[in-house]
Amino acid sequence: MRNGVIAVACLALVVAAAAAGARRDTAPIQNSPDLPWTNPSHQSNLELLLGPIASRIANRNVTIRCEGDTDWVQLVTQQGGNPNAELGYVSATFSATTRQATSIATFAELRTAVCTPLKAFAAANPKPTKCVPIKRTPATTKRVKTTIRKRVTINGVPTWKTVPTTKTITIPGTTTTGEPTPCYIEGDHAAANMPESYWDAYEDYSQAILTLAHEAIHLGGVVGATLRNGLTAGDAQAEAKASCYGMQWMPYVATELGATPDDAQAIATYYWERIYPNYRNAVNAQYWSANCTPGGSMDIRPPGSTSWP
């Protein structure tokens, strides 16, 4: 569900959001014409940017590979997955006896639909998740005192006389714009009235940032699978944990891609409020958990944290 974000009229919310970010957006990579998945050695500027971000989350040296649509279908099919349903994956092998992971790849594969918005986001300045708040005051009218020259007859003699009167004047409305500010505001509100197409793209950015963090959690050792005998290997909650932990890493990922801290948090909040709930009763419900909540067992934030996720 992408539409339905309400623009708030309260200017204080916009001002508070703008004040929260002390620095400006940056573009850590150039918007080069080459596509990330066309580099056979996976050394594109985007992949080189994403590798260290994923390594920080995984707590080990890992890399990220972007794949074009054709290669993606082939790779995911070889893994036994659904190339149309998956956004990324990390290969892992498991012992048939212990059902524990015996090896985990040092790289994650991401599909085109993830790498494209990641590159667009990283190369943008200002970020496309920001918008310019507009404050409009309507035209008003008021009565003012004035004088007019009026022809009168005094003692039979026509003459001109200045007499007091009032008239209505129109005070034009004004339109003022502010600095680019995080467009999404907690509670399904927005800093400006944006079209549905804007929120379609916003969801793509948010989903792509989460996917990178999600796969990095897998690279860090949180993996699971269903063996051919039907038994679960590894962590049975691997997908739910990767999504929940990854959500809490989203602000970090977004700032590393050049977003200001306030916008990075807004993007994560958008995912939590607008996307994550959809997994609860979906076909892919394994990505959702009731324990993914502030203070829940999947809360990995440092003590004293006030923002969620």
Q: Which residues contact 74 (CB under 8 A, 6 or more apart)?
A: none
The residue extents of the domains of the chain are 6-133+178-287, 140-171
Q: How far apart are CA 273 and CA 154, in angstroms?
A: 79
User: Cβ–Cβ contacts within 10 Å for residue 303, how many?
Assistant: 4
Q: What is the pLDDT at residue 100?
A: 95
Average pLDDT, the chain: 90
Task: Walk along the chain (309 residues) and give the pLDDT tens digit of each residue.
Answer: 445 665 543 333 333 333 444 479 999 999 988 888 888 889 999 999 999 999 999 999 999 999 999 999 999 999 889 999 999 999 999 998 999 999 999 999 999 999 999 999 999 999 999 998 777 678 788 888 888 888 888 888 888 888 888 888 887 776 666 789 999 999 999 999 999 999 999 999 999 999 999 999 999 999 999 888 888 999 999 999 999 999 999 999 999 999 999 999 999 999 999 999 999 987 889 999 999 999 999 999 999 999 999
Q: What is the pLDDT at residue 34?
A: 83
Element (H, E) at 240: helix 238-256
Distances in whole angstroms, Cα of residue 116 to Cα of each of 11, 112, 120: 34, 6, 6
CA angle 275, 278, 281 (to 5 degrees): 160
